[in-house]
Amino acid sequence: MESKRQQKFAGVIQKDLAEIFQREGMNFLPNIMVTITRVRVSPDLAIARVYLSFFNSTNNTLAVNTIKSHANEIRYKLGNRIKDQVRIVPHLEFFLDDTSEYVERMDKIFDKISKEPRQAEDSESED
């Protein structure tokens, strides 16, 4: 369970990173839109786990690895924005947020289930 302090700090990081990716994301990933879906911060505020989602990307793993290779540059830019609010700029860890893919997969499974005939229920209701 995250404390209020962690949640507030995660919100600040998410907002500032979103602005960095919006303005300078094309330098890292041309023609790909990066969305920060969630930020989790360690209790000591030293590590920020950033979950990313990509739009218009054919290879999400490559996109995450590209962002990871620029992590120090992104951390520096983040530090310039939040230096007056924090003692240390957290180390950034980037992860792929595959929630949308999971939801899509579940929707397909539910669609398939709903299209199958309901034999057991039909025979019980006739009794």
For 12-28, the pLDDT digits (tens) are: 999 999 999 999 888 88
Give, in order, the Cα–Cα distances in Å from 68 to each of 9, 25, 36. Answer: 21, 13, 14
The model's pTM: 0.77
Quote the tokens at residue 40: 């989790």
Q: How far apart (Å, rounded) are the C-alpha atoms in residues 69 and 107? A: 34
Q: Cα separation of 32 and 122, whole Å?
A: 49
AA letter at 112:
K
Residue 25's Cα: distance from chain center in Å?
A: 15
3-state secondary structure of 86: coil
Q: Domains along the chain?
A: 4-99 (3.30.300.20)
82 forms beta bridges with none
Splitting the chain (127 residues) into consecutive groups of 10 residues, what average pLDDT does each group show? 89 94 87 90 94 87 92 94 88 87 80 76 53
